[in-house]
Structure 1
Amino acid sequence: MELATQVIALAEGPVEYRLERRGPGVVLMLHGGHMRAGLPLGEEVFADAGYTILAVSRPGYGRTPLATGTSPDGFADVVAGLCAELGLGPLAAVVGQSAGGPTAVALAARHPELVERLILQSAVGPVLWPDRRTRMGAAVVFHPGTEAVTWRLIRAMTRRAPGLALRLLLPDLTARPVAVVLASLTDARRGALLDLFGRMRSGAGFRNDVRATSTPRAVARLAAAAARVSRPALVIASRDDGSVAYDHARSLAGTIPHARLVASAAPSHMIWLGDDYPAIAATITGFLESGTVSPPPSTSR
C-alpha cells in the first residue's frame, strides 16, 4: 500500500516526507534500502499506540534527491531541520530500519535534544556492510541504467509468478534454507512480502547506502557516533537475518551505552513477519512508555 507524501524545500535541498498526525508524541521512521516515505513498514505498533508518525525518504529514494545530505551525518542534520520546520520535537523515538540505521544513530548522537529514544530494527551497525557479492550485484542490477528495469521485472514476477518471485528474492533476506522459510509463511505474510517487493524502488539510494558503510573509515565513523548516543536504545534483530547479519545488532548493542538487545525469532530480515512479533511489539510499546527521559548532557558535534 502506497501512502500520500509531500515534498518540502529546505536550505539543504528537497525532502519527501509523510506526516500522519495522531497524539502529541512523534515517532520518526527512517526506512531501509529500496524503501521510501510512502511505503509503511512496521508502523502499526506506533500508530496503534496513538503516536504521530513522520516518515522520511532518505537521499536517493522517492523524491528526496541524492544531493540532500548524502551521508548519514549530513542527512541527520537535514532531518533535524525538517523537524524544526514542521514544529515537531522532541521525538518520542527515532526508528532506524536496516540501511536507515546509520542515519538514526547519527541523529541520536548529533541531536540528543531532539531524540528521546532510539529503536533499531534489523539495522546496519558498525560492521562492514554489505558483503562483496552484494556490492558487486548492486553495482550491476541497481546501476542507473538498469535499476528501473530490475524493478519492472520484479513487479512482473510478483504478479505473474509469485512463488518464483519469493524463491528468487528470499535468499538475500534469510540465512535459513529458502524452502523452510517459504513453508513458514502464512498466506497473509506471503501477500505482504509480495506487495512490498512489488512497490520497492532503489533510485540512487541503495548504491549510496552501500557506499555509506562499506569502508573501514565509514564503519569507524558509525562506531564513534554509536558511542556518543546518550539516549536509551532498543536493538532488535534476527539471528537468521541474511541481509544484515546479527553481528550488526550485537555491535550496536555493545557500542551504544544504554542499549538493550532483543533477538527476534523471525526466519529472515523481516522481523515484522515473525511469529514472535506480537511480543516484540509489546516490548517496543513498553520501551516507549518507560518514563520521562532526562534532558541530554551538553554535547558538541
Structure 2
Amino acid sequence: MAILERDAITARLAAGVVEYRLDGEGQQVVVVFHGGHMRAGLPLGEEVFTTSGYRVLIPSRPGYGRTPLATGITPAAFADVTADLCHTLGIEQVAAVVGISAGGRTALTMAARHPHLVERVILQSAVAFLPWPDRRTRLGGRLVFNASAEAATWAAVRLLMRIAPQAGLRLLLRDLSTLPVRHVMAALSEHDQAELIALFTLMRSGAGFVNDMLAVPDCADQVTQPALVIATRTDRSVPFTHAESLAATIPRAELVESRADGHMIWFAPDYPAIAQRIKDFLATI
C-alpha cells in the first residue's frame, strides 16, 4: 500500500498556531521533526516507534502545512513552541526527540534548551550546523521552492509522477544519492518505489524550505543527552560530514553508519538492523 496522508490537527498556543499529529498508544512519547518538504500528516520512519509501544508527536515545522513561519521562525523559537505543545497535551517527558534531515537542527536545539523534558536524541540523515545546503541547491531552492513558486513546482512533480513515475523518481533520487541513479533504482523493490512515488507526490514546501536554508547558531556541544546519529556515506542531500561533525561534538553521541544508497535510509536493506539499534537505544536506562 502506498503512503497516504494522515489527519493532523492544529493547536493555538501563545506563540501562534501549530499543526501536529499524535499517533500510537502507550505512555511514552517520541517527538519527530520531519525534514524539508514534509508536514505532520506525512508518515515516514514512524513504525519503529509505534510498533515498540510509543506514541509519536509530529509537529509541522514553521512554514510547512498549517504552521505559519510566525509561530517560530528559528529552531530555538520552535523548540520552545514544541515544549509548550507538549505541556498543553499533558506530556511531561519525551523519551526521544527525533530530527530527520533539515529537522535535525530543531531536534538538537530542543534537546539543548529543554534538557529536563527530552531524554534522548535520535538523528537520521540530519543536517548539522555546518554550511548547508551546497551553493547549487541554495540557489535552485530559492528559485523553485520560494513561496510564490513552490506550488507550481510540486504541481509539475505530481504531473510527472502520474504520467511517467519512473522518470520522475529517477529525477528526484538523483539529488539524494552520490551513486549513479540507475544503481539506486535497481536496488529498490517495486513496493519501495511505489512508496517513494507516493511520498514525493504528497510533498509541499510552503515557506519552510527556504527558511530551512538559513544559518542557525550551533548548539551541538550543549546537548547533554545520549544521542544516536544515523547516516550514510552516499547521501548527496546531507553529506556524511554532517553526521561526523555531530558525533564529534555532542558529548554522548554514537555514530551508526547506514548502508543505504542515499538520503532515504528507511528504504535500504539494512534498515531492519538500524531499526533494532534504535529500539535498543530507546530501551537503555
Match of 1:236 in 2: 230
Aligned equivalent of 1:247, options 241, 248, 253: 241
Q: Does the 8 Å contact 1:253/1:260 carry over to 2?
A: yes
Letter in 1 for 2:30: V
How far does residue 163 in structure 1 lie from its aligned partner after superposition? 1.0
Match of 1:66 in 2: 69
Q: Does the 8 Å contact 2:21/2:57 carry over to 1?
A: yes
Match of 2:117 in 1: 114
How far does residue 89 in structure 1 lie from its aligned partner after superposition? 2.5
Match of 1:258 in 2: 252
Query: What TM-score comes out, normalization by structure 1 length?
Result: 0.93
Q: Does the 8 Å contact 2:19/2:66 carry over to 1?
A: yes
SS in 2 for 1:27: strand
The answer to whether the aligner puts 1:207 opposite 2:210 as a matched pair is yes
Letter in 2 for 1:28: V
Aligned equivalent of 1:285, options 256, 272, 279: 279
How far does residue 166 in structure 1 lie from its aligned partner after superposition? 1.2
How far does residue 241 in structure 1 lie from its aligned partner after superposition? 0.3
Q: Does the 8 Å contact 1:26/1:89 carry over to 2?
A: no
Query: What TM-score comes out, normalization by structure 2 length?
Result: 0.98
CA distance, structure 2, for counterparts of residue 287 and residue 15 of structure 1: 29
SS in 2 for 1:252: helix
Deviations along 1:115-147, one digit per CA (max 9) or x if unpaired, are 000000000002100000001101111122211
Match of 1:126 in 2: 129
Deviations along 1:42-72, one digit per CA (max 9) or x if unpaired, are 0000011010110000000000001111001
SS in 1 for 2:174: helix
How far does residue 21 in structure 1 lie from its aligned partner after superposition? 4.1
CA distance, structure 1, for counterparts of residue 7 and residue 47 of structure 2: 17
Match of 2:32 in 1: 29
| Cα distance, 1:184–1:79 mapped onto 2, change above 3 Å | same
The answer to whether the aligner puts 1:276 opposite 2:270 as a matched pair is yes
Q: Does the 8 Å contact 2:24/2:53 carry over to 1?
A: no
Q: CA RMSD in A?
A: 0.7
Letter in 2 for 1:234: L
Q: Does the 8 Å contact 1:5/1:16 carry over to 2?
A: yes
| Percent of paired sites with the same residue | 57
> Structure 2 regions of 5+ residues with no counterpart?
none
Q: Does the 8 Å contact 2:24/2:50 carry over to 1?
A: no
Q: Does the 8 Å contact 1:125/1:252 carry over to 2?
A: yes
Q: Does the 8 Å contact 1:120/1:236 carry over to 2?
A: yes
SS in 2 for 1:67: helix
Match of 1:154 in 2: 157
Aligned equivalent of 2:49, options 46, 55, 63: 46
SS in 2 for 1:158: helix
How far does residue 167 in structure 1 lie from its aligned partner after superposition? 1.7
Q: Does the 8 Å contact 1:18/1:38 carry over to 2?
A: yes
How far does residue 88 in structure 1 lie from its aligned partner after superposition? 0.6
Match of 1:76 in 2: 79
Letter in 1 for 2:253: A
Q: Does the 8 Å contact 2:261/2:268 carry over to 1?
A: yes
Deviations along 1:189-248, one digit per CA (max 9) or x if unpaired, are 10111010000000000000011x3xxxx3xx22xx110111000000010001000000
How far does residue 172 in structure 1 lie from its aligned partner after superposition? 1.0
How far does residue 158 in structure 1 lie from its aligned partner after superposition? 1.2
How far does residue 171 in structure 1 lie from its aligned partner after superposition? 1.3
Aligned equivalent of 2:261, options 262, 267, 271: 267
The answer to whether the aligner puts 1:167 opposite 2:181 as a matched pair is no
Letter in 1 for 2:86: C
CA distance, structure 2, for counterparts of residue 253 and residue 107 of structure 1: 17
Q: Does the 8 Å contact 2:23/2:56 carry over to 1?
A: yes
Match of 1:8 in 2: 11
Letter in 1 for 2:6: L
Match of 1:100 in 2: 103
Equivalenced residues, count: 282
